[in-house]
Amino acid sequence: MSVREATFLGFGNPVDPRPDELQAWAYSPDTVPMNSMPKDWDLLISGDVLGPTLFELAMDRQCPARRFAQHCMYIYAADGVRQNASGQRKRRLKKFVERAEQVGDEPMQIWAHNCRVLMTRPELLEHHDWMEGGLVRYPRKLGLFNRR
């Protein structure tokens, strides 16, 4: 049975879902609507454990929850450029960016471009764009010379 054919049976712990649970939910997101998720669920799940799963979902053009996964990848990236971000996070983010540049479609190539800009100029991080979904709702390439 492929991931897309998997039946979503719910989260054992919605605050800390397993990768397979998140993947099954992403292909049938209406089974548990976003407004029934814990507050700041996007922030809670956008860490290293689910990063690879979220990236795969964000890359999948057929995933019904793709925009949500892309939003989570913006959060993941914003956290990954912090001065005190772990070396593992920074390396993994760089690999995600490289893969999105190589095989991603336009939304993921824009994400990769914006990540590169943020890696170069972390002071350009705008909370609304990166943490609240602004760059997913209104996709655009950021420039290195944007002002705060």
Chain segment 10-38, per-residue pLDDT in tens: 899 988 999 999 999 999 988 887 788 88
Give the CA dihedral 86, 16, 71, 60, nearest 10 degrees: 100
Rounded to two decimals, what is the model's pTM?
0.91
Question: What would the pLDDT profile of 41-80 be if each residue is shown by its tens digit?
Answer: 999 999 999 999 999 999 999 999 999 999 999 999 999 9
pLDDT at residue 3, rounded to an integer: 45
* Residues whose CB is less than 8 angstroms from the CB of residue 4 and which lie 6 or more positions away in sequence, other chains included: 27, 62
Q: How far apart are CA 77 and CA 126, in angstroms?
A: 12
**Do residues 11 and 17 touch, judged by C-beta distance below 8 A?**
yes
What tokens appear for 108 in the block?
Answer: 């993921």
What tokens appear for 39 in the block?
Answer: 């507050």
Q: How far apart are CA 29 and CA 6, in angstroms?
A: 12
Q: Is the pLDDT of residue 1 over 90?
A: no
Domain boundaries, the chain: 3-137
Least confident of 1-5, 8-12, 82-86: 1-5
Q: Is the pLDDT of residue 100 over 80?
A: yes
Higher pLDDT, 4 or 67: 67
Residue located via tokens 């019904």: 64
